[in-house]
Structure 1
Amino acid sequence: MLTLVLAMVWHRRGQAVTLALLSLLAVASAVAAPAYLIAADRAVAAGQVATASTGELTLTVRGVQDATAGGGTDDFANLGGTLIALPGFRYFYSAETPTVGLEKTDRYPTRLVFRQDVCAHVTIVAGRCLFGESDVLLGERTADRLGLAPGDEITLAAASPDGSAGVPRFVPAGKPKALVVAGTYRAVQPGGTYWGRHGYFVGGADVGSGEPVFTTSMTMPATDRVRTEMAIDGVAAPGVLDVHRIDGLRAELRRLDQAAAELDDTLQIDTDIPELLDRIDEGRAASRLLVPVLAVPLVLLACFSIHLTVGYGADGRQSELAVVALRGARWWSRWWLAAGESLVAVLAGALAGCLAGQVLINAVAAVRFPGVGQAADWSSLRYAPIAALIALLAAVAAQRRQLTRPVAALLRRIPAPGAGRVPFGEAVLLVLAVLTGVQLVLSDGSLTGIGLFAPALILLTLALLLSRALLPVLGRFAAGALRRGRLGPALAGLQVTRRPGASRLFALLVAAAAVAGYAACAIDTGARGRDTQARLGSGAARVLTVQPVSARQLLAAVRGADPDGRWAMAVTQLSSGTDVPVAGLAVDSRALAAVATWPLDAESPATVAQRLRPVEAEPTVIEGPELAVDVTSDSDRLQLSVSVSSPDGEATVDLGRLRAGRATYRQQPLVCRHGCRINGLQVGGSGATQVKARMTIHSLGDRWLAGKSGELTTGPDGVTLAVTVAPSYGEVARLRPAGVPDPLPIAYAGAAPEAIKGLADDTLRVDPVAALPAVPQLGRRAYLVDLGYTGLLTSGTRRAQAAQVWLNPAAPPDVVDRLTAQGLTVVDDTGTAAVRERLDRQGPALSLGFYLLAAGLATLLGVGALVLTVAVDRGRRTEDLVAMRIQGLRRGPAGQATFWTYPVLVTAAVLVGMLVGVAGWRLTGWALPLAGVNPPDLPLPGQPRWGVLLWWTGAVLLPYLVAAVAGGRDLRRRVG
């Protein structure tokens, strides 16, 4: 019997090979999903590590030795032993103390730093590296600026902060120490993980040159120090943050926290590694939701394709099976002769498909996820036996009718009456599709439980329903063509619609195209969403975050670097301060149109900028260096202070207690030595009782507004302020520069706030002048104001919540140096490209690679089923058409019937399938987590572009047409 089955396989070896290849694709599709998930997990972890910040790759333990407080970190060395027990990290010890004596200014100290292995991470420009006690390395720019060279001596002394002069300054607080310049250095990768979170190379007007003085471990004990910051930095080695180590690393970090608390509760552990691990887990979770969404329909399609093609082949052998039944063969012989040929081919293909699926994913991972650091993973092969068994069961189930039908039914060449009724399985599929869809909606898009199967079941159900609806239409079209005498189209249509299993073939082709269409929708929507997040979520092509400064300082510095506002814009983040905070942005509106990435469907940025700043408002400016205020007071219980700022900094200058009568009060604050602007005045009282008084300011102009504790009038002698303050409650009256519109113009997205707190000394009323779909960087619930106005609204020296400089592509290469020269210190550099790279390495983007693979596999399954169908039909159609040719059928209609049957069929199926994919996407695509990890609230696209769908339709249709045309030409050649 086995010999007979093998002979049958050899006789129809073309069909057997095709069925084996189809089985291979089906089983490979089932194995591909878990294999891809394993590869994607590794890629998610590797991508997050590659785009992680220094803080997410390092662990820093800090301790302080303060000589004035008599404290120290006695257990600091013991903690080093605990850190060594944390495997996979390389540790570096460091110590740092502030000193004076090197720089001519006293506004900031010089950082004297010991750091282990520093010579291996700097380039020695001149001289030699560190060797003995008292050796130091100077930065090359610092040495050039101060005229120092190797061999020169410098003297440093411990520094202590002193704020008695109105601005922070540092004074000597220890014995001077003579040091020798061993050499000058240039940092190698100043942003690298070796340097940890210490910000050694951050420079600026308030922090210094950004080039610390490095010394040896022997120098520190020999130096008289007031305060020493000690640290142990652990840098994660390659492989430490691999996906298989995440849980173990979390446990080890928890043990480290406990050890630090037991040793010394003053020790501080700084690391963002847990945030990185959480982000990796979130990306993996997104992958485990996205991949099954299309893996499920792909596996069902694979089973359907085996079931269909085996059944179609069995239909083609019905006459043989009828002869076997007529000869009285026993049931097991009949079963083996009916199923053996298909089972042999399916089993061979299934065994090869188990391996092929894993090899395919290994190849895809090597191209799609290069350098993830691990060899190919074969663990997904544990699913191979299950996939092979399912393939065999599908093959057996496809032939059940041929095994149970009577001889008369086996001899029929057209469907029996009633064959068009809806099978029980399709009815069950329809009910499941409805249930899973309802579950998806009720769970608000949660892809858990049966809701995870909603996209698959909806796609397959729509494909089956449309195939059942459209084939009768095609049959009526063929019948109408026959009545009109158009024999070619009539024969082509009747050959398809009257063939047993035609509806299932059409449904399979529609379902395969639907999977590809769904994949197209997801891939294009996801790519556009990442582009929107990168562009609108960043706010500009490049975003520089600077150390905190006031809004006035930021605006002046950016305008100093870019006077015309062609490539730079100052930006700060704000908050409404209400019970439901609404984030806000303060921007330099004159540069808004040139720099900001603007949302689609919004008014032009130039129009919005004009509405945000309808009038100019200028501050009061003094030339310096002296601040003089001419005041007449009717009380000697008032106290006056003035808030001033300049490129050199900001300060609140206390002019002291006012005398009754007229007097001029003078101060020379350091920030005003080159001139400064007056940002506000504050009037308080002294004593235990309430103070009611009037004062007239003669020398600062008349462009002022008063807060709620004062009443302001303007006269020829200046501005007169009537105040009522209670010193015991700390009440004060404030004056701020006039010129800012009241209410304040804002552009908003979402619901406009009624008022803004925290931006000025008092609550501000707002005037919504423009509605936006989203505010760049903040999203759909935010507002936008002019930074020039906000700088005038605040009378103190409050620093901005988040100070940034947005740049467009026209920014010069030395933009950081220009901003540094204006007193800003850049601490982060990101933008559209960096955000897009980070999004492309997250779980959602990586998971969509499987969608492309699934579309290709689904198309190959459909093409394979088509090829096998053509091969099975070829013999019987040739017999029919040859007989018709003998009866007088002309060559033209016969050629039309042979050549156009399958191209028309696959074209209709692909077009309908793509529409099914789009419909399935509209019903379920909204639930897919395509936006990345913790996405901002932005108007992300929810639908694909029609142009992209047309391109995908052509790409999917092409292989079908090639197979259909080849089959039609072969059939026409046989008919003649």
Structure 2
Amino acid sequence: MTTLVLAMLWVRRGQAVALALLSLLAVAASVAAPAYLRAADRAVAAGQVATATPVERGLALSKSEDDRNDPQAAEGNGLGFTTLGPVLASLPGFTGVYASEYPAVGIEPDPANRTRFVFRQDVCAHLSLVSGRCLVGEGDAVIGEQTAKRLELAPGDTITLAYAHFSTDPRTPIFLADGAEKRITVAGTYTVPDPDAAYWGAHGYFSADTGDRPGEPLFVGFATLNTMDHGATVKSVDSTAGPGALDVDKLDGLRAALGDLTDLTGKLNTTVDVRTGLPDLLDRIDSGRAAARQIVPVIAVPLIVLSCFVIFLAAGYGAEGRRPELAVVALRGVRWYERWWLTTGENLIAIVAGSVLGCVAGQLLVNLMAATLFPGVGAAAGFASLIYAPLAAVAAVLAALLAQRRQLFAQVAALLRRVPGTGRRPPVLEAAAILLAVVTGVQLAVSGGDPTGAGLFAPALIIFAVALVVARALLPLVARIASRALRNGRVGVALAGLQLARRPGATGLFSLLIAAVAVTVFAFCAVDSGTRDREVAAELGTGAARAVSVQPVTPSQLMTAVHTVDPHGTFAMAVARTPGNAPGEPAGLAVDAPRLGAVANWPGSGPSAADVGALLHPKAPDAVIIRGQDVNISFEISGARATIPLNLTLAVSSITGRGSARISLTQLGNGSNEYAQRVAACAQGCRVDGVQVNSTDATSGVAAHLRITALGSINPVVPAVSAERLGNPAQWRMSSYGKLTADDGALGVDIDAPSGMGTSGAWIQPVDAPDPMPIVSSGRPADVITGLDGRTLAVDRVAEVPAVPRLGLRATLVDLEYADRAATQSGMATDAEVWLSATAPADVLDRLAAQGLVITGDIRATVARDQLDNQGPALALWFYVLAGCLAIVLGAGALVLAAVVDRARRVEDLSALRTQGLDRRSAGRATLWAYPMMVLIAVLAGTGTGLAGYGLTGWALPLAGLEPPPLPLPIWPRAWVIALVALAILVVLGGVATLTSRNLRRSVL
């Protein structure tokens, strides 16, 4: 019997090869998923390490030890080489750099400035010597090139230094010598080739130093630093990951070593500052790997189910074509196991052979992808990749047996029938598929979008349920169209349509093609949606092409610096956070609104950034400006109780970015008063923020009349405001504790606070900003916002946007200049930033620093995009591309196999019709149009099925990243992308269908 089976296999070797290739693809898909996950694990780790900051790739230990007063430190038991040995050894693959430093005085002429006296292990290898030599023995030092020029020092000079500490007396903010002097020889002068190298850690050696000096420490050897009489010393170890130290297979050991590090530092019996971003990096890697393990199986499951479906259909087609042979076998009365082997052996041998080859093919396919997508990472081949291969092989065998069940048990008469029964089977399979799709879909929704457990099968079951239902509904429609074509005399079209609708297995083949197209469309929907999500998260989440954070400054200082660097408003914009203290108040940004359109990344829908900027910054009255540093205010008080004098405070802010000031006048009684005070910040002009009036007793009632008669400068004598504006109460605002009146060319203030004015007092401010304040918001509108001074501002929502850059779906935008004017005094801006467009010059950071801004961070949208592209979700989606391609290959293979099996019968049928008078043209159309017509309908139906499946389940995929910001992330792919994918599928499947049909046509004609 085996010989007979092998002979049958050889005779139908083309059909056997096709079936073997299909089973190869089925098993390869089951191998590819775990193999790809192993490769993705390595790629996620490598990508996150490559885009991590130096702080995240290392750790720093530091503490201050006083050798004079700490016996442990004096005996070498502190944070030194002896105690650090076990710490460094517990971090395999990390390179540690030991350093110590303390302040010294002796060469700086200003005692407010100290010299950083630093030992750093192997420092000479990281310096570039300008003159002289590097460190050799005790007493040598190297000094920075600019410091040497400033202090007129050269190699060979001797200097005298002493340990110093900073004075604790606030009246004398200087460094005081606190140790014996030591003579040091200047061995050489240096520059630093790469001040941002990981070797230097986060010590800020080369940042701007006090006294407007460049950061250039005095580097010495350990013996020099240790033998000098000194007190408190800052000792540190910077440990940085070397090549391979953060490979994915070493992460568990590293995590354990970090735990041991905590124990070791605790044993030092002192306070050790441990600074590291490694735990965050490790968590990010773990989250990325977990996300990939969620995303990849979602497409792997329908791909494997599709593979089994293909084998089921292929085996069924093959068995259907062998009905006469099987009838002869049954007629001869062979034993049941012989009949079983003759029926199934041919297919089983092909499936087993293909399954074995599929194990190798799946791993090789992933190896090729990994080499292309993740160069230098590798695919981590191993037996773990074959974990699902036996299951896939068994599933393929079971699918083949299930497809041949009728031929195994059918009667001889049934097998001898030329055409199987035409009665339509009840829709049991469709009903079961729909039921399972509903159950798994509900489970996915109930789980909150967690594609695990039963929810993992939801996309596959929904796709196949829809495909089965659509195929069952469309084929009768095709049959009716064919019948109508026959009545109208279009014989070729009618024969092609009837071939689709009435041939055995047509429903199964049509369902398979729809499912294959749907799986591919689903895959590319996820790929394009993920790409768009990451683009929005990077660009809109950053806010602009670059977001540069700076040390705290006032809004006026921030805007002045930005306007000086970018006077035309083409590439830079000042940004700060609004306090957001009110209950339920959304987060907010205060921006230099006129520059919004030129700088900010903006949502694709809603009003444009330029339009929003114009709405946020309408024309407003000019600010009240004092022209001179000798600020003058004149006023009269009447009606005040002698026991409760008033306090008056004038708040001003420099218009040139020199900060703000408060002029406080206390214990004021009835009568006329005129005060002048020099305010250095106002040398080039100040804006009046407001005048505050309160009493010496915050809880006692106050009733008085204040008459402000003059406000300006007396050197030169320039009034800040004209008498017409000063005396016009409409040009001023007072929010509480009284009202404003016109008082004979002066501003009258009727103070009425029966219960006292509290600590905030009454504020009189010029009307130089819109009231209520215009805001733009996303999400539920805010009734009020918190101003920059912490007070509540009434607002007018002038527009709604889909999202606020950086902040997302529920947030507000307000103009920074007007918010600053509305504040009673300009304090430090919260989270001050400068947003830059892509056209910003390369030296923009230097220009900002020249204006007094201290840069503390620099976030680029391109870097954020790179980080997202190297996270687990993005890397997992490459498997979707592979799955989509495999699905189409499976569909094409099934189409070829069906054509091979049908070929003999269709040639026989059409040849008989030709003999009976069917014209050549109609016969040609019947052969050429059948499979291409099926492909066209399947592509259209499959595209809709894939979109439906993605719409019902795609929302659960974490495509945007590990922690997506609250932004309007696109759920649906772009229409042109899906159209292009559908066209590509049509070309591939249509080409296969056309080639098979042309071969049949040659046989018939």
The alignment's TM-score, normalised by the length of structure 1, stands at: 0.91
**Counterpart of 2:375?**
370
1:585-734 alignment runs, 5 A limit: 585-616=589-620, 638=647, 650=659, 652=661, 662=673, 664=675, 666-667=677-678, 698-700=710-712, 701=720, 708=736, 716=745
Q: Is the 8 A contact 2:37 2:292 kept in 1?
A: yes
Which stretch has the larger CA shift, 679-688 or 283-292?
679-688
Counterpart of 2:467 in 1: which secondary structure?
Answer: helix
Q: In structure 1, how many angstroms separate the alpha carbons of the residues matched to 2:701 and 2:226? A: 56
Question: Are 1:440 and 2:469 counterparts?
Answer: no
**Counterpart of 2:968?**
939
Q: Is the 8 A contact 2:557 2:657 kept in 1?
A: no
**Counterpart of 1:891?**
920
1:626-670 Cα distance to aligned partner (Å, 9 max, x none):
66666777888848586655878546567675676746454565x
Q: In structure 2, how many angstroms separate the alpha carbons of the residues matched to 1:753 and 1:585? A: 13
1:196-231 Cα distance to aligned partner (Å, 9 max, x none):
233334448987534444343344345566754332
**Counterpart of 1:11?**
11
Question: Are 1:328 and 2:333 counterparts?
Answer: yes
**Counterpart of 1:45?**
45
Q: Is the 8 A contact 1:695 1:721 kept in 2?
A: yes
Deviation at 1:675, TM superposition (A): 6.5
Match for residue 79 of structure 2 among 76, 79, 97? 76
**Counterpart of 1:115?**
120
1:542-592 Cα distance to aligned partner (Å, 9 max, x none):
221222322222111111111121111111122311233411111111211
Q: In structure 1, how many angstroms separate the alpha carbons of the residues matched to 2:495 and 2:354? A: 35
1:318-352 Cα distance to aligned partner (Å, 9 max, x none):
11111111111111111111111111111111100
1:271-304 Cα distance to aligned partner (Å, 9 max, x none):
2221222222222222111111111100100111
Match for residue 510 of structure 2 among 499, 506, 510? 506
Q: Is the 8 A contact 1:725 1:731 kept in 2?
A: no
Deviation at 1:833, TM superposition (A): 1.0
Which stretch has the larger CA shift, 358-367 or 195-204?
195-204
How has the CA–CA distance of structure 1 residues 133 and 513 changed in structure 2, closer, same or farther, with 3 Å as cutoff?
same
1:552 partner letter = S
Q: In structure 1, how many angstroms separate the alpha carbons of the residues matched to 2:265 and 2:248? A: 26
How has the CA–CA distance of structure 1 residues 581 and 689 changed in structure 2, closer, same or farther, with 3 Å as cutoff?
closer
Q: Is the 8 A contact 1:525 1:943 kept in 2?
A: yes
2:314 partner letter = T
**Counterpart of 1:418?**
423
Deviation at 1:246, TM superposition (A): 3.4
1:541-556 alignment runs, 5 A limit: 541-556=545-560
How has the CA–CA distance of structure 1 residues 390 and 235 changed in structure 2, closer, same or farther, with 3 Å as cutoff?
same
Question: Are 1:783 and 2:786 counterparts?
Answer: no
Q: Is the 8 A contact 1:481 1:490 kept in 2?
A: yes
Which stretch has the larger CA shift, 903-912 or 18-27?
903-912
**Counterpart of 1:2?**
2
How has the CA–CA distance of structure 1 residues 104 and 513 changed in structure 2, closer, same or farther, with 3 Å as cutoff?
farther
How has the CA–CA distance of structure 1 residues 154 and 598 changed in structure 2, closer, same or farther, with 3 Å as cutoff?
farther
Deviation at 1:609, TM superposition (A): 1.4
Match for residue 926 of structure 1 among 955, 968, 985? 955
Q: In structure 2, how many angstroms separate the alpha carbons of the residues matched to 1:656 and 1:220? A: 53
**Counterpart of 1:191?**
196
Q: Is the 8 A contact 2:556 2:656 kept in 1?
A: no
Which stretch has the larger CA shift, 390-399 or 616-625?
616-625
Deviation at 1:955, TM superposition (A): 1.2
Q: Is the 8 A contact 2:616 2:775 kept in 1?
A: yes
Question: Are 1:515 and 2:519 counterparts?
Answer: yes
**Counterpart of 1:559?**
563
Deviation at 1:509, TM superposition (A): 0.8
1:407-466 Cα distance to aligned partner (Å, 9 max, x none):
1211223231434332x4443222101111122223332223211211110001111111
Match for residue 580 of structure 1 among 584, 589, 598? 584
Sequence identity, in percent?
A: 48
Q: In structure 2, how many angstroms separate the alpha carbons of the residues matched to 1:594 and 1:688? A: 48
Q: Is the 8 A contact 1:518 1:921 kept in 2?
A: yes
Counterpart of 1:220 in 2: which secondary structure?
Answer: helix
Q: In structure 2, how many angstroms separate the alpha carbons of the residues matched to 1:676 and 1:153? A: 50
Number of paired residues?
972
Q: Is the 8 A contact 1:205 1:648 kept in 2?
A: no
**Counterpart of 2:166?**
160
1:308 partner letter = L
Counterpart of 2:830 in 1: which secondary structure?
Answer: coil
Which stretch has the larger CA shift, 542-551 or 497-506?
542-551
Match for residue 253 of structure 1 among 258, 262, 276? 258
1:509-531 Cα distance to aligned partner (Å, 9 max, x none):
11101000101211111111111
Deviation at 1:133, TM superposition (A): 4.5
Q: Is the 8 A contact 1:204 1:823 kept in 2?
A: no
Question: Are 1:753 and 2:759 counterparts?
Answer: no
**Counterpart of 1:457?**
461
**Counterpart of 1:267?**
272
Q: In structure 2, how many angstroms separate the alpha carbons of the residues matched to 1:686 and 1:72? A: 55
Counterpart of 1:784 in 2: which secondary structure?
Answer: strand
How has the CA–CA distance of structure 1 residues 459 and 126 changed in structure 2, closer, same or farther, with 3 Å as cutoff?
farther
**Counterpart of 1:387?**
392
1:28 partner letter = A
Q: In structure 2, how many angstroms separate the alpha carbons of the residues matched to 1:213 and 1:624? A: 44
Match for residue 836 of structure 1 among 861, 865, 889? 865
Q: Could you list the runs of 5+ residues in structure 1 that have no partner in the other structure? A: none
Which stretch has the larger CA shift, 703-712 or 83-92?
703-712
Which stretch has the larger CA shift, 49-58 or 848-857?
49-58
Deviation at 1:497, TM superposition (A): 2.1
Deviation at 1:620, TM superposition (A): 5.7
Q: Is the 8 A contact 1:723 1:733 kept in 2?
A: no
Q: Is the 8 A contact 2:555 2:826 kept in 1?
A: no
Q: Is the 8 A contact 2:26 2:358 kept in 1?
A: yes
The alignment's TM-score, normalised by the length of structure 2, stands at: 0.89
Q: Is the 8 A contact 1:203 1:209 kept in 2?
A: yes
Match for residue 293 of structure 1 among 288, 295, 298? 298
2:34 partner letter = P
Deviation at 1:947, TM superposition (A): 1.1
1:907-944 Cα distance to aligned partner (Å, 9 max, x none):
21122111110111111111211111111111111111
How has the CA–CA distance of structure 1 residues 579 and 106 changed in structure 2, closer, same or farther, with 3 Å as cutoff?
farther
1:220 partner letter = L
1:763-802 alignment runs, 5 A limit: 763-795=792-824, 798-802=827-831
Q: Is the 8 A contact 1:655 1:666 kept in 2?
A: no
Which stretch has the larger CA shift, 535-544 or 791-800?
791-800
Which stretch has the larger CA shift, 248-257 or 501-510?
248-257
How has the CA–CA distance of structure 1 residues 949 and 731 changed in structure 2, closer, same or farther, with 3 Å as cutoff?
closer
Q: In structure 2, how many angstroms separate the alpha carbons of the residues matched to 1:431 and 1:488? A: 40
Deviation at 1:492, TM superposition (A): 1.6
How has the CA–CA distance of structure 1 residues 392 and 222 changed in structure 2, closer, same or farther, with 3 Å as cutoff?
same
Q: In structure 1, how many angstroms separate the alpha carbons of the residues matched to 2:110 and 2:754? A: 40
Deviation at 1:192, TM superposition (A): 3.2
C-alpha RMSD over aligned residues: 3.5
Q: In structure 1, how many angstroms separate the alpha carbons of the residues matched to 2:177 and 2:300? A: 70
How has the CA–CA distance of structure 1 residues 710 and 281 changed in structure 2, closer, same or farther, with 3 Å as cutoff?
farther
